[in-house]
Amino acid sequence: MDIKKMITRRTVLQTAGVAAGLSVAGCSPAEKPTAKKPNINFDNAYFYDAEAKFKPEAAKDALIALMQYHGYPVFPDVRENLWISDYGIGQYAKLGLGAIMFVNNEEDRYMMLDIYLLPNQMLPEHFHLPTDKNPAKMEGWLVRHGVSYVYGPGDPTPNIKAVIPKCHMNGTATVSHELILKPGQFTPLTKVEAPHWQFAGPEGAILTEVANVHDNAGVRHSDKNLIFE
């Protein structure tokens, strides 16, 4: 009997057994530790300088972290294409919006954008009117990541999940019919020109919005103190 062949075969079998044991235990040598998720909870002061001026680049940093946290693709030029607003209120951690407009075809009237909301951040109540160029915007939302509490026309929901910040109409809104949207769930705005708003869950929310068309000239906010550009 060839001793070398026995040793070689025994070594192969032992090595295979160890590898199998590691695989069964979930400890494959090729397996890598789970990457630590980035922080997505920010103090409001993070978004403002010493003179209380809003820092859009800090807001973009936070939204990039939100994307990475949820595994949303941070595609080329995503940072440059982000539109950010704190609506001139100075409370971006509580009231604000980040979005990317992928298409807004006014000729054929279709639109798609993604909305990015930080944890427990409110997208303020607003509505859309027709303009000289476009009809009133009709839209709907598909949640990709996180949870969004969507509010619009309908019977008021008792004990809503959202906590409206004091900086928004002293903690109020005009509509409070609540829908809770999780990833893969869609809801449309049910009535043209109706007020609507959203509030992100504890892990924020990333949504895709589809609509007939968007026209800034037709946007109105229920809170007259907000600045929208």
Domain ranges of the chain: 1-32, 36-221
Q: 0.75 exceeded by the pTM?
A: yes
Q: Which residues are registered as beta bridge partners of 95?
A: 122
Task: Give, in order, the Cα–Cα distances in Å from 28 to each of 112, 197, 222.
Answer: 42, 47, 56
Per-residue pLDDT, 25: 46
Give the model's pLDDT for residue 9: 47
Q: Which ranges of the chain have pLDDT less than 50? A: 1-25
158: which 2 tokens? 């008792």
pLDDT of residue 103: 98
Judge contact between 137 and 218, C-beta under 8 A: yes
Q: Which CATH superfamily is domain 36-221 in?
A: Jelly Rolls (2.60.120.10)
| pLDDT at residue 10 in the model | 47
